[in-house]
Amino acid sequence: FLQERLKLVTVLGAGLLCGTALAVIVPEGVHALYEDILEGKHHPVSEMQHVMESEKVAEISAAHEYGHDHSRLHAYIGVSLVLGFVFMLLVDQLGSSHVHSTDDPEAARSGNSKITTTLGLVVHAAADGVALGAAASTSQTSVQLIVFVAIMLHKAPAAFGLVSFLMHAGLERNRIRKHLLVFALAAPVMSMVTYLGLSKSSKEALSEVNATGVAMLFSAGTFLYVATVHVLPEVGGIAHSHKPESAGGKGLSRLEVAALVLGCLIPLVLSIGHHH
């Protein structure tokens, strides 16, 4: 019964990750990239009248620069999303290949598979920390809340699965606590590092590109990978699992499909009426 409830929460968390990435993080990341251009287009009426002549003089050069910025920022959107997706793909595949290469009993006793699994989950948590830090730097409370809830619902089953895997592998309780502590600290530490790094880069103007937008789009790519490639196939029983027991069943039940759809729609509903 507990395992079924945990699976349901995992599916709901996967839906929240997808909905948050598509309905919240991607729009916010794109808006952050274009924030300077968008703010430059909204001048007060008096200011518009005051600078009308100078704008007419610089119209050609401004239009050329505006188009150049648009084409450059368009490239950053796609690159950031794909890099986030590919990054999580490489992390997951490296960890999986290492675990599969240590399937024999003698190699398994070395503990390399346990360490690799923990490191893989820590990297996943660190990527979630990047998303949380980038959301915090936007100063949009609704965005911060949605991203936080999505991460929490995803990380609770992941922590339970990590402890179950380590206990099944025969680790001592003290070592399991250390692994769990590293996993638990990865997301908050990385979120603070990301927040401080984005604040510093924005204050010192180290780059022409809004780093917050790039970080949010990168994290959207990681969210989409974790939800669609890692979590959903695993709970659906159609892919390999690092957990000691299979999630069971082929595909999702009606209740789990409803939870998945609900998770996808919650961020969309919360984002309705949210204006920049």
Q: Where are the domains of the chain?
A: 1-39+75-96+108-240+253-273
Query: Under 8 Å CB-to-CB from 5, ≥6 apart: which residues?
Result: none
What is the tens place of the pLDDT at every residue in 133-161? 988 888 778 888 888 888 888 888 888 88
pLDDT at 70: 66
Task: With a cut of 50, say whether residue 270 has pLDDT above it.
Answer: yes
Mean pLDDT of 56-79: 62
Residue 236, amino acid = G
pLDDT at 108: 46
What is the percentage of the chain residues whose pLDDT exceeds 90? Answer: 15
What is the tens place of the pLDDT at every residue in 107-123? 444 456 667 777 888 88
Query: Under 8 Å CB-to-CB from 18, ≥6 apart: which residues?
Result: 223, 224, 227, 228, 263, 264
pLDDT at 9: 84
pLDDT at 103: 47
Beta strands in the chain (DSSP E): none
pLDDT at 190: 92
Which of helix, strand or coil describes residue 239?
coil
Distance set, CA 95 to CA 105, 120, 182 (Å): 18, 6, 17
